[in-house]
Chains A and B, each alone.
Chain A
Amino acid sequence: MLVLSRKRDESIIIGDDVVITIVDIKGEQVKIGVAAPKTVSIHRKEIYEAIQQENRAAANTKIQNLSGLVTVLRKQKNPAAESTD
């Protein structure tokens, strides 16, 4: 990994069109500004990874049939519905 030292208001440029600027530094927190083309998505990494991880968990659904679950829901909500099944 390339490591660069930057002060407040200094920037780095990645490729031709992504500019990262140190906007503010307060104690342990750094505010970073990112200027990039509209087509580039920018996310906090932990959120991005959480969604990746959740997608993988969702992809591993073992359940074969959801109608059973739907039936359970209906009964739980309205016990009287049981007699109509």
Chain B
Amino acid sequence: MRPMATIRPDQPTDTIKFISSRFGEIELPDSEILTMPEGLLGFNHLKRYAILKDPDEEPFIWLQSIDEADLSFVVVDPFIFFPGYEIQVKTNELSSIMLDDLDKATVLGIVTVPEDPMNLTANLRGPLVVNTECKLAKQFVLIDDRYHTKHFLLKDIPPYLAVPPDTQRRTIGASSQKGSGKQHEPLA
């Protein structure tokens, strides 16, 4: 499991250590901690998360609670699977994560992996919007009735999954920009 960014040895930085039931002890620089001032719906008391990536698991990413070792979510760039996905939120709602423009945000869909993992779904109705610069995030509730909480991810497997792992990262970056014409920076 690798943190989002590596710590450069010449840059002393404060770090935070926490325990994940899934991944064991993790140490990350403070600057990598994602804060959700309102928490996730149903988990409002938990505000701090870490984003953990493993190249072998991309495009899936883990969102691990810092304060609750047992709590982790699988998240994914929804535009990879649903290139036409559109998010509309009011500008004033973005201000709580210090954003004035959705185009500057990274969007993540929370994935539910059921008993049969092949039936995994993404919640497109309640996307996470991340301000990657300030490391602030919020779960939005869309009013758009086209989207619900269980969109099957694997009905049509995206072509990039067929490419070898070493070329995958670039492909992810490229395909993540398709969504509704907006530019979405990869988190890495």
Contact = CB atoms under 8 A, between A and B. Distances in A.
Nearest to A37: B92
Interface in A47-66: 47-48, 50-59, 61-66
Nearest to B59: A70
B9 interface: no
A contact residues, range: 20 to 34
A47 B110 CA distance: 16
B85 interface: no
A7 to B, nearest CB: 27
Majority SS at the chain A contact face = helix
A23 interface: no
Contacts of B71: 59
Interface in B124-183: 125-126, 139, 141, 148-150, 154, 157-159, 161-162, 164
A47 B147 CA distance: 11
Given A48-B141, A54-B149, A56-B42, A74 B161 contact: yes
A41 B41 CA distance: 12
A69 B118 CA distance: 8
A48 B41 contact: yes
Given A61-B72, A62-B113, A70-B56, A51 B149 contact: yes
Nearest to A73: B161
A70 B161 contact: yes
Given A48-B141, A70-B161, A74-B162, A58 B96 contact: no
A51 B56 contact: no
B111 interface: yes
Contact of A54 (B58, B120, B150): B150
Interface residues of B, number: 44
Among B59, B71, B113, B148, chain A packs the most CB atoms within 10 A around the CB of B113
A54 B121 CA distance: 10
B54 interface: yes
A28 B72 CA distance: 42
Contacts of B93: 38, 41
Given A48-B41, A61-B74, 19 more contacts: A38-B93, A47-B125, A51-B41, A54-B149, A55-B42, A55-B43, A55-B110, A58-B110, A58-B112, A59-B71, A65-B57, A66-B57, A67-B57, A69-B60, A70-B57, A70-B60, A73-B154, A76-B154, A77-B157
24 contacts: A38-B95, A41-B141, A51-B41, A51-B125, A52-B42, A53-B149, A54-B125, A55-B40, A57-B114, A58-B110, A58-B111, A58-B113, A61-B73, A61-B113, A64-B22, A66-B60, A67-B57, A69-B113, A70-B58, A72-B118, A73-B161, A77-B157, A77-B158, A77-B161
